[in-house]
Structure 1
Amino acid sequence: MQLMATLRTSVNIAVATALLGMSSLASAERIEESPSAGAMVADAVIARPLYFVLSQAGALVYGATLPFTLLGGNADEAAETLVVTPLQAAFVRCLGCGKVENSVGSLDEGEGKMIRHFVMVSGGVSQEKSFVGEKFLSGGLYLGTHFSLVDDSRFDVMLGGRQLMASEKDVGDENLSSLEIVSRFGKAVNGWLELSGKLGLSRWKYKVDSDVDITGISDIKASSFDFFWGVGAAAQLSENWRVGLDYTRYDLTVEDNITLSGVAATDADALAFQARLADGIDTNLELLDLNITYMF
């Protein structure tokens, strides 16, 4: 089961990466290079996946050190070096080319790029599938760094958290909490609309204070690290404010780290629910939320 879960997660990431990569490649500026077929194959098979992995590893380091780099005044340099530069190499270069037009490192702030920090608040609804079938209400808070480049490409790196509460209580008081590191990249359209994709890593915790009569269990806890991806659109309202709409897909898999308390099964339904938990939690969340961002 662990192998299948790992493969499924890898496929989801690969699909999201491919879609975002094709979109970015289609909108990238033409570079005056004539790469060979071998260079194109090597770029697609080796270089781009490596740059993508580097960007996500950089996002982890950026997120973990963000409070300190903000205090030290070099959060923008950290985001540029650790995340945006490898993201450009992974998605913006033409296939097989050795350089990137408008590379973030070659642009001066105010002359080709603008760097700003932001706080984003989000709220929405989600549908959990294949486990208990719950609908959740969601709220989130994020802190990050935003890059606007002269070629209309946009990059965000952010650290934040999300809380989800079940809107119905068929099982009990059910909630999810998630600590997340996110890299987001896209394009500005018509100067005021931004279309983007995002990839991230979440550390989430699942908890149920259950009705024993329904499940035969008084308390359920689980936690895991999982990847997620999404797409979104945002509109610039003013110099400092923007509003957006995001779709996010989480794949949550836990096989071993599940704790049950107060087990008191008395009927077939309760025993069946416990049997499902014994096999692990393998489910997904599809979340649609509205977000408001303040740039500073």
Structure 2
Amino acid sequence: MRFLAAFKKPLQVSLAAVLLLSGTVATAQTVEEDPSAGAMVIDAVLARPLYFALSQVGSLVYGATLPFTLLGGNAEQAAETLVVTPLQAAFVRCLGCGKMPNQVGELKEGEGKFIRHFVMLSAGQANYSESLVDVSGSAIGGGLFLGTHFSLNDDSRYDVLLGYRTFGTAELDKNGTEFEDTASSIQIASRFGKRIFWDLELMGKLGLHRWSAERKVNNSTSSSSGFGFLYGIGVERFVSDNLRLGLDYTVYSLNKKDEYEADVSTADLNISYMF
């Protein structure tokens, strides 16, 4: 539990480093443009936040329609248009630039762009930190996810995924009163990052989730649910043509005023089958 909590501050720093890494690489590649100071200010204040917001709305639409787009055969186009393109515009362009190299919409599959779908299983430890009662605890849980993966020839990667994760049941104690918290999450998230060496890729994760929590105290049970944000960082690598192994750390917000206010952080081992 303390081990997981100790990673919360470094996680925020590391996630920022992923974003800065993407921006630095793009700046080095885009040398033809010479944006003005005004263009840089407008880009930083207006354009990039808008593109980021569009990418997250696009993730929601993509995740909600993924089963249908997979059956219809246009999941790749939906992910590219709704999520990957605005993510690139938000994080990969140099500041104030109107163009970017390796724009996903201008690349053909197999010629700078590779698209695969995947099923991912995850399992690991979840750390509960509930502020209303001021208790904390840990439990073991796991999840199942379905998504689409983009790899570009500049070593950047983008994923969009829809999934479910149970956080398990944490046994808690407050001044001698024992109770149990059980929580789960249905989530839609986007992941983006860079290959750092060999086949190892560093990535950040952002998304939204619908959570539900149940508390058992003595013979009574109370429940709560709501929507919240999630963010995290992780690493992944291919171990074969179709299998990827990864580690990630994610923080989930479970907050409903005066009912249930908690952060749940997870450290997971993931295995993905690409198809």
With structure 1 as the length reference, what TM-score do the two structures score? 0.82
Deviation at 1:137?
Answer: 1.2
Deviation at 1:134?
Answer: 1.7
CA contact 2:249–2:266 (8 Å) conserved in 1:
yes
CA contact 2:224–2:259 (8 Å) conserved in 1:
no
Query: Which residue is 2:188 aligned to?
Result: 181
Equivalent-residue separation in structure 1 for 2:58 and 2:16 (angstroms): 20
RMSD of equivalent CA atoms: 1.7
* Counterpart residue identity of residue 164, structure 1: F
CA contact 2:183–2:211 (8 Å) conserved in 1:
yes
Deviation at 1:15?
Answer: 8.3
CA contact 2:15–2:232 (8 Å) conserved in 1:
no
Query: Which residue is 2:64 aligned to?
Result: 64
* Counterpart residue identity of residue 76, structure 1: E
Query: Which residue is 2:200 aligned to?
Result: 193
Query: Which residue is 1:235 aligned to?
Result: 237
Q: Are 1:294 and 2:261 counterparts?
A: no
* Counterpart residue identity of residue 204, structure 2: G
Equivalent-residue separation in structure 1 for 2:44 and 2:259 (angstroms): 36
Residue 83 of structure 2 aligns to a residue in which SS?
A: helix
Q: Give the strand-richer structure, 1 or 2.
A: 2
The structure having more radius of gyration, on CA atoms, is: 1
User: 5 Å matches for 1:18-57?
Assistant: 19-28=17-26, 29-31=28-30, 32-57=32-57
Residue 23 of structure 1 aligns to a residue in which SS?
A: helix
Listed as ranges, the gaps of 5+ residues in structure 1 are 1-13, 213-217, 256-278
Query: Which residue is 1:165 aligned to?
Result: 168
CA contact 1:155–1:186 (8 Å) conserved in 2:
yes
Task: Work out the percentage of aligned pairs sharing the same amino acid.
Answer: 57
* Counterpart residue identity of residue 206, structure 2: L
- The match for 2:250 among 229, 236, 248 is 248
Equivalent-residue separation in structure 2 for 1:191 and 1:58 (angstroms): 31
Deviation at 1:117?
Answer: 0.1
CA contact 2:170–2:182 (8 Å) conserved in 1:
no
User: 5 Å matches for 1:250-289?
Assistant: 250-255=252-257, 279-289=258-268
CA contact 2:15–2:204 (8 Å) conserved in 1:
no
With structure 2 as the length reference, what TM-score do the two structures score? 0.88
Query: Which residue is 2:221 aligned to?
Result: 219
Listed as ranges, the gaps of 5+ residues in structure 2 are 1-11
CA contact 1:205–1:223 (8 Å) conserved in 2:
yes
- Deviation sequence 1:84-142 (CA, Å, 0-9, x none): 00000000000000011100000000000000000000001021123431212120100
Question: Quick one: structure 1 residues 23 and 93, their matched pair in 2 at CA, closer, same or farther if it must change by over 3 Å?
Answer: same
Equivalent-residue separation in structure 2 for 1:241 and 1:159 (angstroms): 19
Query: Which residue is 2:141 aligned to?
Result: 138
Query: Which residue is 1:152 aligned to?
Result: 155
CA contact 1:172–1:210 (8 Å) conserved in 2:
yes
CA contact 1:16–1:229 (8 Å) conserved in 2:
no
CA contact 2:18–2:202 (8 Å) conserved in 1:
no
Question: Quick one: structure 1 residues 121 and 287, their matched pair in 2 at CA, closer, same or farther if it must change by over 3 Å?
Answer: same
CA contact 2:161–2:189 (8 Å) conserved in 1:
yes
Deviation at 1:17?
Answer: 7.6
Equivalent-residue separation in structure 1 for 2:236 and 2:14 (angstroms): 19
